[in-house]
Amino acid sequence: MIVALFSNIMASKDSGTFRTMCPMNCHPTLCGMLVQVTDGRVTRVKGDPENPDSRGFLCTRGHASREIIDNPDRLLRPLVRDGRGDTPWHETSWDEALDRIAGTMRPVGPAAVGVWTGHGLAASNYGTRISSYLARRFANLSGAQWWSGTMICWGLGAYGLGLTGALGTHVEAVEGTYTGNLVGHVLHAERKAVAAAELAGSIGADLADCWAYSDSRNDIPLLELVGHRIVVNPDASLARHAREHDWPVLQLKTASIKEAEKRVRREARAVKREARRKPKPAG
């Protein structure tokens, strides 16, 4: 359940403003959040200006997190059905649900089983990730596949945008099992810019013609690396840096999105015209 970060707040007092952290599973940090509770119910959330990292910033996902609490559409018990198609779902006990899962896993063998915890588990205890680590450990010990939730929320999004690859931190695996050791460095801040520069060099891309988007001050090295950068819903430090360097800033509002689309199209056309003017290499 995603209510984990809110539950202690609501249990401690009926009303007031309480400091916590956003339960949505974003990287690399959890943004600071102030939660307004009235008569035991969460009525408002906003960014915490005293949080040393997010400094008052809270994205659309963070603001929407309060809608999860007491939502009548939330599933609180397992649902099962006896067939596919129009077969109706019905509630069952946790024991029956787990027995069904185990009864299906055993005949097919671990190699045919994929363990995926989904977004709810990641958001409910993201600060410690204990449940996620236990599920991953179970997959490794049983020999099953471990499926990252990023294949759904990030992978399919990248597919829809037509992206052909991604950069990420490499984790060592020996005979199909993660050892917990990193291969190289955590891909963050300056390291991300280094990796992007190496990739551009390997495929012959001109960084002056490349684009970068970010909402975090941690990506300033990456933004400075390319010829075209767009700052999106920035944190306080990145917003200040963007103003000082006259970088375009996109706020996720209808008017600004339309204006940004027009600007990006204009700049993309200019880049194409400039590319056509460049002499082609001999040979």
- Whether residue 216 is found in the same domain as residue 266: yes
- For residue 26, tell me if it sits in a domain: yes
The parent domain of residue 194 ranges over: 190-277
Q: For residue 159, tell me if it sits in a domain.
A: yes
The reply to whether 266 falls in a domain is yes
Point out the domain boundary residue: 151, 166, 181: 166
Helices (H) and strands (E) in the chain, counts: 11, 12
Q: pTM above 0.75?
A: no
Q: What is the CATH number of the domain that holds 216?
A: 3.40.50.1000
Domain count, the chain: 3
Q: Are 217 and 231 in contact (CB under 8 A)?
A: no
Assess if residue 107 is contained within a domain: yes
Given the DSSP bridges, would you call strands 32-38 and 41-47 parallel, antiparallel or unpaired?
A: antiparallel
Q: Residue 147 CA to chain centroid, in angstroms?
A: 15
Looking at the structure, tell me whether residues 234 and 273 fall in a common domain: yes
The confidence score (pLDDT) of residue 116 equals 83
Give burial (CB, 10 Å; 0-12/13-18/19+) of 92: middle
Assigned domain for 183 exists: no
- Whole-angstrom CA distances from 263 to 120, 221, 227, 229, 258 are 37, 23, 15, 12, 9
Confidence (pLDDT) at 3: 44
Identify whether 84 is part of a domain: no
Are 35 and 114 in a shared domain?
Answer: no
CATH label of the domain that carries residue 60: 2.20.25.90
Are 222 and 193 in contact, with CB atoms under 8 Å apart? yes
What is the per-residue pLDDT for 66? 83
Residue 185 lies in a domain: no
Indicate whether 249 belongs to any domain.
yes
**pLDDT in the model for residue 253:** 67
* One domain for residues 53 and 108: no
Q: What DSSP letter does each residue of 187-210 carry, written as one string?
A: --THHHHHHHHHHHHHHT--GGG-
pLDDT block averages, 10 residues each, the chain of length 283: 49 76 68 89 90 82 81 87 90 94 92 81 62 84 82 69 79 79 88 94 93 92 95 91 93 69 81 79 61
Element (H, E) at 90: strand 90-91
DSSP code, position 65: G
